[in-house]
Amino acid sequence: MGRKSVESLAGRWALVTGSTRGIGQQVALGLAQFDCNVVVHGRTLKNAKETLGLLREYPVETAVVAGDLGTEKGIRAVVRGVERGPGHIDILYNNAAIQNQWQSVWEIERATWQDAFDVNVFALIALTNAFAPGMVERGYGRIINVTSGIRDIPHLAPYSVSKAAVDKYTADLAAELEGTNVLVNTVDPGWLRTDMGGPNADHDVTTVLPGALVPVLLEDNGPSGERFAAQDYTWSD
């Protein structure tokens, strides 16, 4: 992927959930490289301090919203924060997710399944419902849902099943948004050395770029309902 071959996102606003660290932080910094304004999200305002500091290196505007996406209150706080800040977003990057603790699939309690779906699926849907209609009205939008390549690990079934639900929701949403220039796609970031991925993962977190940006940078009326693998892309210049 060539840096110089891609148009600037100047003037656009992106909300990146879970952008205080890990993949979300890398996505926020990557967007800033293309002049995109960024709304940083964390569970608390304090958690966003590091990412906001890193973004100061770029000539972009920033805002911060806080809220626990596992709760209705937290989701409402994020939506209100965007409304009080930039007022709208053009790019919704649904990155925030949780993973359950390793345990026998037979012993996983209902509450654990509920927690995974609350953050990984239901919050993603709620944020999409809040912001996608405005994108349709303006004739431009990019929605990126982070998925996973995890497979055959029943000990982490709540996480993997929630990501399968994200894949199906993305496909359905793409059908709903056909012809609107609001493109919705998934990104598989690969197995990364993050707090979630652990120290033995295949790739450093920085390798999620530039691939994680590909569905953001699609041309108008480009592919929708597709799956992009971040590790398939590298910078060519």
The domain locations on the chain are: 9-232
Predicted pLDDT at 1: 61
185 Cβ contact list (under 8 Å, min separation 6): 143, 144, 145, 170, 174, 215, 218, 223, 224, 225, 226, 227, 228
Predicted pLDDT at 204: 82
Taking the chain (237 residues) in consecutive chunks of 10 residues, what is each chunk's mean pLDDT? 67 98 96 98 96 97 98 98 97 97 97 98 98 98 96 95 98 98 95 65 82 97 96 79
Predicted pLDDT at 5: 46
27 Cβ contact list (under 8 Å, min separation 6): 16, 19, 93, 95, 208, 209, 212, 213
63 Cβ contact list (under 8 Å, min separation 6): 37, 38, 39, 40, 81, 82, 85, 86
Its pTM surpasses 0.75 = yes
How far apart CA 217 and CA 43 sit, in angstroms, is 27
211 Cβ contact list (under 8 Å, min separation 6): 1, 187, 189, 228, 229, 230, 231, 232, 233
Known catalytic residue: 159?
yes
Predicted pLDDT at 178: 98
116, β-bridge pairs: none
How far apart CA 195 and CA 139 sit, in angstroms, is 37
How far apart CA 203 and CA 182 sit, in angstroms, is 31
Distances (CA, A) of 135 to 67, 142, 197: 22, 8, 32
Predicted pLDDT at 137: 98
Give the sign of the dihedral formed by CA 109, CA 111, CA 112, CA 114.
positive
Give the sign of the dihedral formed by CA 74, CA 132, CA 227, CA 216.
negative
* Helix 110-117 and helix 157-176, axial crossing angle in degrees, nearest 10: 40
**Which of 58, 93, 159, 169 is the catalytic position?**
159
Q: 9-232 belongs to which homologous superfamily?
A: NAD(P)-binding Rossmann-like Domain (3.40.50.720)
Amino acid at 54: L
